[in-house]
């Protein structure tokens, strides 16, 4: 029987066994509610959450653990950051609506809240990116207005893997007293994060992107040197300093803390391994698959990411031909709609080219054997599908 191979690590990652081991006691033995202040069960849970908060703060270079607000994941964190900041601006400005700036290649969890804010009277500028998928900070500078309240630029793109000039863009925002938010879901464990040093005001994280559990995330909210104000989006108890009500997912939070610590500790070794395997696969496919090309910058990208255009072979048909090879044609979320990737279209690809693009995401456990076997399967499937297309 053929072996299944997972190459979709931008969609999600498996829980690290060390993370699972740390989580297990908080399902059974230490099951208390972290908001229960009157007994030992609650104190144990509260202590575990505090330790996880400290771990995550260290992992991203925050100044204080209190700057970490736990959420259900990066989607909720993005909504709290964008909507929370916009509504706080309107409240402090006597109801006047402000202006936000985002890039055309942001995740839908940023673009959709912005679209909702537009319907509520806010203004949103969507800045294009060059063909290589790497933002030029000058484009943000040109989009500033007198009433710009926030700029949101993702740290690393989930589809094409491109790394964005976060520190440079944040510096432009700081000079104008504009909030800077980054969707850093793909960044932790892939590139160094230093939110305080780099003048980042808000950063969204999701544990399942760095070998932690699904359903838990965090929003970094700057409190040192600048007090970022947000209007909470979930009400009902005043948890998380009043910014995010709801009983805390203690096992998930514990897992996220351990996963963040491991991700930073092993970052250099993991990146070196992923980069070696990425180049091995890319060079193999370039040599054996005619007309294949790379979407996005060849150097400034996630170490384990390839987004490939294979002319004449639609990604959906290629994935159907390779059921035991886990690939993607875009983000995991947008795959539900069947609509061509807005990220690829923003790079200037036509609808057909976007439909013929495939994402490959290697992870910390991917092996050379798996990469070579995947190359063989891809080569055979592409040849087979192109042969069918040419048959009268």
Domains of the chain in sequence order: 5-13+267-390 (3.90.1150.10), 17-265 (3.40.640.10)
- Which tokens is 384 given? 């087979």
d(CA 186, CA 172): 23
Cα–Cα distance for residue pair 189/238, rounded to 1 Å: 31
pLDDT band at 290 (very low <50, low <70, confident <90, very high): very high
Residue 283: helix, strand or coil by DSSP? helix
Lowest average pLDDT, out of 113-122, 286-295, 314-323, 327-336, goes to 327-336
Are the C-beta atoms of 105 and 154 separated by less than 8 Å? Answer: yes
What are the E-state strand segments in 216-304? Answer: 217-221, 293-294
The Cα–Cα gap between 197 and 54 comes to: 17
Residue 138's SS3 state is: helix
pLDDT confidence of residue 226 = 86
Would the pTM of this model clear 0.75, i.e. be above it? yes
So what's the pLDDT on residue 392?
45
pLDDT top residue among 263 and 330? 263
Binned at pLDDT 50, 70 and 90, residue 96 comes out as confident
pLDDT for the residue numbered 337: 55
Give the pLDDT score at 95: 76
Residue 193 has which token pair? Answer: 């994060």
Q: Is 114 a catalytic residue?
A: no
Q: Could you say which of 114, 173, 333, 356 is catalytic?
A: 333
Q: Give me the pLDDT at residue 93, please.
A: 77
Mean pLDDT of 185-192: 96
Q: Could you tell me which residues are beta bridge partners of residue 8?
A: 361
What tens digit of pLDDT does each residue of 198-250 get?
A: 999 999 999 999 999 999 999 999 998 888 999 999 999 889 998 999 999 99
Judged against a pLDDT cut of 60, whether residue 336 lies above it is answered with no
Residue tagged 């808000």 (tokens): 202
pLDDT at 332 over 60: no
Residue 39 is inside which H or E element, if any? none
- Sequence-separated (6 or more) residues with CB below 8 Å from residue 383: none
């Amino acid at each position: 029987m053929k072996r299944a191979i997972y190459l979709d690590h931008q969609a999600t990652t498996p829980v690290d066994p060390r993370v699972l081991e740390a989580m297990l006691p908080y399902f059974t033995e230490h099951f208390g509610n972290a908001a229960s202040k009157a007994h030992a069960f609650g104190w144990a849970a509260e202590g575990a959450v505090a330790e996880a908060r400290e771990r995550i703060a260290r992992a991203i270079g925050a100044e204080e653990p209190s700057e970490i607000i736990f959420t259900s994941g990066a989607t909720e964190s993005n909504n709290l950051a964008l909507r929370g900041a916009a509504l706080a601006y309107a409240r402090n400005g006597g109801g006047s609506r402000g202006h936000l700036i985002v890039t055309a290649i942001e995740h839908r969890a940023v673009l959709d809240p912005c679209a909702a804010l537009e319907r509520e009277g806010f203004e949103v500028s969507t800045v294009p990116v060059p063909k290589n998928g790497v933002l030029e900070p000058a484009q943000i500078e040109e989009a500033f207005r007198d009433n710009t309240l926030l700029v949101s630029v993702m740290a690393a793109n989930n589809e094409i893997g491109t790394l964005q000039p976060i520190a440079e863009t944040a510096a432009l925002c700081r000079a104008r007293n504009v909030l800077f938010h980054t969707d850093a879901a793909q960044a932790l464990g892939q590139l160094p994060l230093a939110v305080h040093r780099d003048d980042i005001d808000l950063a969204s994280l999701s544990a399942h992107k760095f070998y932690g559990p699904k359903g838990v995330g965090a929003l970094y909210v700057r409190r040192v040197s600048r007090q970022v104000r947000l209007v909470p989006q979930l009400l009902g108890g005043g948890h998380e300093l009043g910014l995010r009500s709801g009983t805390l997912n203690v096992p998930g939070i514990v897992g996220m803390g351990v996963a963040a610590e491991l991700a930073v500790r092993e970052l250099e070794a993991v990146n070196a391994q992923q980069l070696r395997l990425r180049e091995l696969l890319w060079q193999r496919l370039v040599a054996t698959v005619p007309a294949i090309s790379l979407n996005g910058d060849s150097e400034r990208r996630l170490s384990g990411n390839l987004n490939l255009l294979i002319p004449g072979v639609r990604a959906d048909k290629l994935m159907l031909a390779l059921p035991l090879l886990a690939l993607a044609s875009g983000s995991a979320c947008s795959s539900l709609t069947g609509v061509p990737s807005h990220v690829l279209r923003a790079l200037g690809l036509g609808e057909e080219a976007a439909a013929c693009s495939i994402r490959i995401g290697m992870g910390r456990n991917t092996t050379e054997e798996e990469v070579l076997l995947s190359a063989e399967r891809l080569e055979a499937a592409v040849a087979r599908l192109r042969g069918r297309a040419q048959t009268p």
